[in-house]
Structure 1
Amino acid sequence: MSALTFTHIGGPTALLEVDGWRLLTDPTFDAPGRTYGFGWGTSSRKTTGPALSVEEVGAVDAVLLSHDHHADNLDDAGRAMLADVPTVLTTVPGARRLGAPAQGLRPWEATTLTHPDRPTLTVTATPGRHGPVGARAVIGAVTGFALTWEGQEHGAVWVTGDTTLTSEVRHLADKLSVGTVVVHLGGVRFPTTGPIRFTMTVADGRDLCRAVRPSTVLPVHHEGWSHFLDSAAALERPELAPDGGTTVWADPGSPVTVEV
């Protein structure tokens, strides 16, 4: 049986360690206090710095990047660290913008990570939409990632990436058995765009988990930025997993271990 060590670093950034592999999601390592523009009159201030520095995280085998064009998923320090990462997996347009070694994956396209002393990891891109219907044309592409390997007992480890609760996302379990989900929340909203949400709320996350039925839920992307408007609900650390499952609201910088 494999065990996943999960370290939430802040915002969407987490270190996933399993069977010798070290994978980092959405690197954000800038100091707090700066306001970043996201286009179309939207912006957000980073309110909390990372629990670990790039140096404290150390070498990683791959970065799983939901998307490259918003600073709450890839800020300046995070972008700089990519030069030292052998594999960066992201969206197809994101890979074009970043250049080598970034590799773009379309929804349900898969690639493998291999090492002579570790199990082969299959990384499959999963669909997402960063806002309402039609948002992709304006906001750009995003992706999630499903990790599978031989000997896994509880189903895939799925990182949702920044997405709303679309029909494709809700019905992902029709194509993939999920054991652990790293779910991006935050209920992102901006004054200039009114009530429109650009990521899932805590309530959406609970609905998703009822549909997908993972055994373990690891929430991220719910603190550290001013546009995470669902942070108050997240602070209550509610249970998101269905009956029999476990929700782990990991304290930033403190590793937790779950069976996968």
Structure 2
Amino acid sequence: MRITRIGGPTALIEWEGWRILTDPTFDPPGRTYSFALGTSSRKTTGPAVSLDEVGDVDLVLLSHHQHADNLDDAGRTALERANTVVTTVAGAKSLGHRDIRGLRAGAATVVSGPARPTITVTATPCRHGPPLTRPIVGPAAGFALTRDGAARPGLWMTGDTVLHRGLLRAAEGLRPDVMVVHVGAVRFPRTGPLVYTMDAAAAVAVIDRASPGVVVPVHVEGWSHFSEQEQAAARVFDAAPPSVRDLIRWLPLGESVDLG
């Protein structure tokens, strides 16, 4: 598997002949975007790889559509270049695309293409904020991808989520070859201490349950509402037990890295 970390939650994953793009965000930096309850965030860095450099893709994994730090204006153009988009049920209803599939947690869909293995995409649970906030922040989903004939996923993208029981149950014994974990500890001044994505300490607990082969942190830089950015998260991962610490791979922005 080869991964190019583009910025924020966005990565290009090349695996078994598939070109997979996660949560496309390609707007330039400097703009402030509005979120729910009067909250907002400024995009502080642009993509390390341009949308034109990425080109066409086979599949977009879109954890949710309602927040610009996971799907911005230029990112919507990326959806048009994808053969298939897998997202939440709400996202599939809201976005126009010739082949868009909405999944609830636990549901699966199969994607296929010429000269490449068939892949089953299974949605995993996300709770994008504290208890009872879903009506405000909206739904989100993670995705586990398993190639035809494989006993375990080759890839798990957690999506934007806090630590919760459903996530830990889904992670138990999942053993993906590669885990792309969304961190950043999203906070807003208006909502005080409330957190809307995992921090690195919460991610350690999920990684320990999932027992992946390698872990790639994303969703940790480039936006002002990420309260725990890359250096702070790296310190937490460095202090984790070796069973987690030794799995972490910080990928340089803009560089394609083979993970084996």
Question: What TM-score range do you get, normalising by the shorter chain?
Answer: over 0.9
SS at match of 1:78: helix
Q: Secondary structure at the match of 1:171?
A: helix
**What per-residue deviation string (whole Å, max 9, x for no partner) do you get for residues 11-70 of structure 1?**
000011111100000000000000000121110000000000011011100110010010
- Paired position in structure 2 for 1:62: 59
Distance change (3 Å), C-alpha of 1:95 and 1:130: same
- Aligned 1:68-217 pairs, distance under 5 A: 68-101=65-98, 102-150=100-148, 152=150, 155-174=153-172, 176-217=174-215
Q: Secondary structure at the match of 1:209?
A: helix
Summarize deviations over 1:142-174 as a string: whole Å, max 9, x none: 000001013657644100000001111112134
Instruction: Give the distance between the partners of 1:241 and 1:119, measured in 2 at CA.
Output: 36
TM-score by length of structure 1 reads: 0.93
TM normalised by structure 2 equals 0.93
1:123-160 C-alpha deviation (Å, 9 max, x unpaired) = 11111000011121221100000010136576441000
Most deviating of 68-77 and 99-108 = 99-108
For 1:36, the equivalent position in structure 2 comes to 33
Residues 185 and 198 of structure 2 are in contact (CA less than 8 Å); yes or no, is this contact kept in structure 1? yes
Distance (Å, rounded) in 2 between the aligned partners of 1:29 and 1:182: 19
Where does the alignment leave 5 or more consecutive residues of structure 2 unmatched? none
| C-alpha separation in 2, matches of 1:253 and 1:214 | 24
Residues 197 and 67 of structure 1: CA distance in aligned 2, closer, same or farther (over 3 Å): same
What value does the CA root-mean-square deviation take over the aligned residues? 1.8
Q: Classify 1:241/1:33 alpha carbon distance in 2 versus 1 (closer, same or farther; 3 Å).
A: farther
1:113 positional shift = 1.2
The aligned amino acid for 1:254 is E
Partners of 2:211 and 2:74 in 1: CA distance: 35
Deviation at 1:243?
1.7
Residue 49 of structure 1 is matched in structure 2 by: 46
Q: Give per-residue Cα distances to partners, 1:108-127, cap 9 Å, x unaligned.
A: 11111112311111111111
- 2:182–2:197 CA contact under 8 A, matched in 1: yes
Structure 1 residues not aligned, in runs of 5+? none
**Given the alignment, which residue of 6, 9, 27 partners 1:9?**
6
